[in-house]
Structure 1
């Protein structure tokens, strides 16, 4: 899979711009605050339907406009795909695939496969469980659109169940209806937990290999899935469902007191260890960056295994975060993948023997293309 071209209109600081990309390396360089990351952001938006920097579409609109438009042409399985995303203030975002409007966001998933590595990814380690779940959810949604639908439906049902728990404070006559919502949450939640558990197992296996190389065999990484729902077999979906229902009964009194659902995939997390030490608490900044790099390389491999194609790789301002050795290992692992790299200096690429290298110089929302 690769991206042929990207057209931006009134997106961030881009008024009107079209870029034709190389199938291999695309080096997007320039001074800070010129719009380099905005290009990567637009690509990721076309893959996932969301920005990696903000949840508000209004923040993506050029300051002198009321709307933005993105058009992206890609080739997948030797077939051309066109993705269009349009947004106007106070209106819903419109997404089209090959000029056909999508009725559901889930229909976007899988049309463009992308993995992004940015400084914000350290939040997977440093921040709370929601950031770690978000990483899993974005990857799984790309390779399994059914997972995306399950996640959306689960979140809707969770809101309704929590609303009912609050309403029961004033109307205990509705207590019997709680069983209906318990059944619905357990049914969908068990599928989500099973999918996440399988993904983390695969990620752990791949990351062990990648991290061993990146650390010169000095470090062993371990990624453990930690579900709020305990079971002795996360492969058995019926058992997971039964345990969710059992937990609901066990915690009902506390949930009624707190007005919130205490068990389910919305409470799940995973832990990352290096040489048996928790990376979040004891890892250095260098170790944390290496962990994220190991995970991202593993994510590339898993997507290839699932879909038969490598995703495009977006490296946003991370070259300066990696030492020479880790950069070389990274390049060795991605030389067969279309890659977009943002950086302030292009010197480290001038002497690289890259095939079809494209330099894109960005100055205040304008691009100058240089083929090498």
Structure 2
């Protein structure tokens, strides 16, 4: 799976951009705030319909403009495809695959698979449970259409149940309707819990040996799934918590409150790990994610590295670069110093300057 080219029109700080990528390693370099990350973001939008920053559609549109366009040409399993994203300031986005509009943005998920890694991904380790749930959901939604369907239904039902809990405050006769939503919530919730269990189990098989190598065989990293409720107890817990839910006007039990923990031996990395251990755990997670995607799709994902190398020491830099030799990669950095001491090929270099990009050098090979 590779990106062949990208076109942007009135996207972020780009008025008009046409880029052709190499199937190997593509490096975008330049000063901060010039638009390097915006290119990676547009690729991510083409894969997931969403910004990795959580930005709203109107924030992706160039200042003073009402619309923006992204067009990306990709090759998947030897077949060429075109993805068009039409962003509108005051309307829902339009999405088309090979010139055919799709009814739901979710239909795009899994068309192409990307792994995005930035310094902010340390938040997966350091921040609250929502960051880790988002990681699980975004990966599973790209890989598993059934999970995507179940998660969409679960989130819809949670929203409707919460609205009902608020309405009951004004009309108690509506209380009996909660049972209807609870039955559906349990149905989809149990399926989500089971799929997350399988996902974490497969991820552990990959992350353990990766982290051992990164830590010089000194540490054993394990991910532990921490569900808010055990599947077979979900219905009982919903009923038990109903009085509390009515008071809080929100659903307080279910997989929307799940978490996962990272442990080195028995030490919780988030609470007690050093910054170095947290960074290594985040890197191990991303490398395991790449391998997991390979297993699922029988192909390589597209890797997006946003200014990550500057956050890693030389050993981890080289380990990362060696691990991605067979994967199309788009890397952003402020300079090319990170590559000077590595035995790594850069296949195409782009210099980014204030919303314009120059293809500076077509091929760079080790001598």
Same topology, TM > 0.5: yes
Does 2:78 correspond to 1:78? yes
Q: Alignment partner for residue 261 of structure 2, among 249, 266, 271? A: 271
| Structure-1 separation of matches of 2:61 and 2:173 | 48
Does 2:276 correspond to 1:282? no
Q: Is the 8 A contact 1:22 1:356 kept in 2?
A: no
Alignment-derived partner of residue 105 in structure 2: 105
Does 2:247 correspond to 1:257? yes
For residues 231-250 of structure 1, the aligned pairs below 5 Å read 240=231, 242-250=232-240
Alignment-derived partner of residue 295 in structure 1: 285
The offset of 1:353, in angstroms, is 4.9
Alignment-derived partner of residue 319 in structure 1: 309
| Structure-2 separation of matches of 1:160 and 1:351 | 56
| Structure-2 separation of matches of 1:219 and 1:351 | 27
Once the two structures are superposed, residues 107-128 of structure 1 have per-residue CA deviations (whole angstroms, 9 ceiling, x without a partner) of 1011111000001111112221
Q: Is the 8 A contact 2:24 2:347 kept in 1?
A: yes
CA RMSD of aligned residues (A): 1.4
Q: Is the 8 A contact 2:6 2:71 kept in 1?
A: yes
Q: Is the 8 A contact 1:106 1:145 kept in 2?
A: no
Alignment-derived partner of residue 36 in structure 2: 36
3-state SS of 2:351 partner? strand
Does 2:332 correspond to 1:342? yes
Q: Is the 8 A contact 1:23 1:356 kept in 2?
A: no
Alignment-derived partner of residue 371 in structure 1: 362
For residues 1-372 of structure 1, the aligned pairs below 5 Å read 1-230=1-230, 240=231, 242-349=232-339, 353-354=343-344, 357-369=347-359, 370-372=361-363
Instruction: Report the TM-score when normalising by structure 2.
Output: 0.96
| Structure-2 separation of matches of 1:61 and 1:173 | 46
| Structure-2 separation of matches of 1:127 and 1:351 | 33
3-state SS of 1:58 partner? helix
3-state SS of 2:34 partner? coil
3-state SS of 1:270 partner? strand
3-state SS of 2:218 partner? coil
Q: Is the 8 A contact 2:322 2:344 kept in 1?
A: no
Once the two structures are superposed, residues 67-91 of structure 1 have per-residue CA deviations (whole angstroms, 9 ceiling, x without a partner) of 1110000100000111111112101
Deviates more, 1:160-169 or 1:344-353: 344-353
Instruction: Report the TM-score when normalising by structure 1.
Output: 0.94
Q: Is the 8 A contact 1:28 1:36 kept in 2?
A: yes
After TM superposition, where is structure 1 displaced by more than 6 Å over at least 4 residues in a row?
none
Deviates more, 1:96-105 or 1:257-266: 257-266
Alignment-derived partner of residue 233 in structure 1: none
The offset of 1:355, in angstroms, is 5.0
Q: Is the 8 A contact 2:310 2:338 kept in 1?
A: no
Q: 1:126 to 1:351 in 2, by over 3 A?
A: closer
Q: 1:64 to 1:163 in 2, by over 3 A?
A: closer
Q: Is the 8 A contact 2:309 2:338 kept in 1?
A: no
The offset of 1:356, in angstroms, is 6.4
3-state SS of 2:352 partner? strand
3-state SS of 1:360 partner? strand
Unaligned runs of 5+ in 2: none
| Structure-2 separation of matches of 1:212 and 1:352 | 22
3-state SS of 2:253 partner? coil
| Structure-2 separation of matches of 1:276 and 1:13 | 47
| Structure-2 separation of matches of 1:355 and 1:256 | 60
Unaligned runs of 5+ in 1: 231-239
